[in-house]
Amino acid sequence: MSFDGLFTKAMVDELSLALKGGRINKVHQPYKNEVILTIRANGLTKSYYYPHTPTTPGYS
């Protein structure tokens, strides 16, 4: 999946609703090219996985 303008806009909209007013509880780097953010917002705790390699651009 490519990061074109439409995908980026949809991702920003979804994350801004989920994370507005939140705080980062934990930053975990299990491997050199991976970051997991644990964020508490709106009474929920969610984890966001960010691989930062050229072969897997994106988030889960």
pTM of the model: 0.60
Torsion of CA 15, 17, 20, 24, to 10 degrees: -40
User: Strand, coil or helix: what is 4?
Assistant: coil
**Residue 2 has what pLDDT?**
60
Residue-wise pLDDT for 15-36, tens only, equals: 887 778 889 899 998 888 888 8
The full set of domain ranges for the chain reads 5-51
- List phi, psi (to 5°) of 20: -60, 125
